[in-house]
Structure 1
Amino acid sequence: MARSHTPHRTLLALILLGLMEIAFLSLGNWQLDRAAQRESIKAAIDTGRSTPPLRLQSDTAAKHLVPWRPAIAHGVWLHKFTVLLENRNYQGRPGYWVATPLLIDQGANTAVLVLRGWLPRPMRPNEALADVPAPAGEQTINGELLERVPRLFELWSWSDKGATELPATLPDPAKPLPKLQNLDLSDYGRATGLTLVPAVLAEQAVGAGPSGATSKPGQLLQEWPEPSLDADKNRGYALQWFGFATIAAGAWLVIAWRALRRKNQSKTL
């Protein structure tokens, strides 16, 4: 009668359990890294929001452009360079973020790109896009600084890049209001010919909370998504993975001990 535990099966079980142990430990460490990243983001947000407001000028040094720092810009809108950022949903509703440069120094041709707010996307047949507010004259804009325009992953970026590509020159008569998925500041500067402040200003209504929420009639909705900062959830997941690793390690030791005991017993027969 053949023995139920063969050396090959035992070896295979030990290898599989060893691989599982490595995988579980790696996943646990990855969750701890994610927790550390979220804590770092939270610290950056707290540091930025506790910094005194910055008045943006054409000669503002880059070291002062701290992400999440309150900032004020004074200038005139360059509506001809407005673009719409696609797939920016609000409470499950599809829509766009409106991005327009604010010229803060005409002599130096310097502007800051402003995320002005959210605009709903037409969903019904023959429904037109709502008009983008286009106030004239000098404006004072309050908001928070961002390092860049928040990016979204483009599933079609390898096969159909032109679908959301920024026109080479703005304004583009063929696309008076370009729609694109992501916007890079350097590309936008080349297309517009503007000297851009190396940061983005997410506009907020005066007196609004950190999210900048406002819904006044005739204005764009300004409620910007906050990064996920729940590091405790990642630590909980890490604890689960380390628990699985402990179980795998225990099973490995049991199987190895039994195999060694069988080997010793066979030598004494």
Structure 2
Amino acid sequence: MARPHTIFHTLTALVLLGALAFVFASLGNWQLGRAAQRDAIRLAIDAGRASAPLAIAAGTPATEMLPWRPATAHGRWRHDLTVLLENRNYRGRPGYWVATPLVIDEASGTAMLVLRGWLPRPSTFPQGLPQVPAAAGEQTVSGELLERVPRLFELWSWAGGRATQLPERLPDPNQATPRVQNLDLAAYAAATGLKFKPAVLAQTVAATPAGEAADGAQLMHEWPEPSLDSDKNRGYALQWFGFSAIAAIAWLVLAWRALRRRKSPPIL
């Protein structure tokens, strides 16, 4: 004998199907939002790279420093303030990004934070550190502007860990070259006492001091591009909307059957 349907079971199934339809539709809309974000990033990259190259000076306004715009800066390295960014792989090899301030105006302490390139992690890790090129004299650095230093996810930061925070003051006598997971420009300015321009310069070619060999010949200047495959997000959105439609159809079928049972005369 078939198990009799009850109002409680029907209502429970209707609530669950309705909730699933709503959740699946929300996930589809979220994927469409991600696609729109990636499209906006692509447009920003195209607009920035199509802009005329910018020569950065102490008085350059922030409105001119568009992300992805080609730019040059002239000044002196502060190698004593260099920071290594950990866990930055290059073609599957572990290594570091080298971040060094380029002081563009000595009088005011105005500087540009430069991502100088990638260095491989030494085989003696964790005892050893890579040898960072340290050219002296005035340098001209060319690259692309970034809004900030690209971040990596820090699991231990949720627990209030300080494993990747900068020292309170730089240079730090306890470690010649600090290693951090991420680098915040405001925190770096507070530690160094420099006035940083509100952007980061990702160096794309070796710095060129007049009449000398190019600086940073050992550094790799290939930077990762943001993921811009918005079509994949739209494909995921279509799948979620399909699941939502299936749940909605199941809800309608169940509701229709329940209504028919209520209208059917009882069997004597």
Q: TM-score, normalised by structure 2?
A: 0.92
Letter matched to residue 195 of structure 2: T
Query: What is the correspondence of 1:3-18 to structure 2 with a 5 Å cutoff?
Result: 3-18=3-18
State the match for 1:117 in structure 2: 117
> For 2:156, what is the secondary structure of its paired residue?
coil
State the match for 2:211 in structure 1: none
Cα distance, 1:125 vs structure 2: 6.5
Query: What is the correspondence of 1:159-238 to structure 2 with a 5 Å cutoff?
Result: 159=159, 161-205=161-205, 218-238=217-237
Q: TM-score, normalised by structure 1?
A: 0.91
Specify every segment of 5 or more residues in structure 2 that has no aligned partner in the other structure, as ranges. Answer: 207-214
Q: Is the Cα contact below 8 Å between 2:189 and 2:195 reproduced in 1?
A: yes
> For 1:263, what is the secondary structure of its paired residue?
helix
1:236-260 deviation digits (Å, cap 9, x = unpaired) = 0000000111111111111111111
Alpha-carbon spacing, 1:248–1:158, altered in 2? closer, same or farther (3 Å): closer
Alpha-carbon spacing, 1:87–1:125, altered in 2? closer, same or farther (3 Å): closer
Give distance in 1, aligned partners of 2:90 and 2:227: 16
Give distance in 2, aligned partners of 1:86 and 1:204: 20
Give distance in 1, aligned partners of 2:199 and 2:216: 29
Q: CA RMSD, aligned part only? A: 1.9
Specify every segment of 5 or more residues in structure 1 that has no aligned partner in the other structure, as ranges. Answer: 207-215
Equivalenced residues, count: 260
Q: Is the Cα contact below 8 Å between 2:133 and 2:216 reproduced in 1?
A: no
Give distance in 2, aligned partners of 1:164 and 1:219: 26
State the match for 2:255 in structure 1: 256
Q: Is the Cα contact below 8 Å between 2:122 and 2:128 reproduced in 1?
A: yes
Give distance in 1, aligned partners of 2:221 and 2:265: 76
Cα distance, 1:267 vs structure 2: 5.6
Matched, 1:239 2:244: no
Give distance in 2, aligned partners of 1:99 and 1:81: 9
Alpha-carbon spacing, 1:184–1:217, altered in 2? closer, same or farther (3 Å): closer
Matched, 1:81 2:81: yes
Cα distance, 1:90 vs structure 2: 1.4
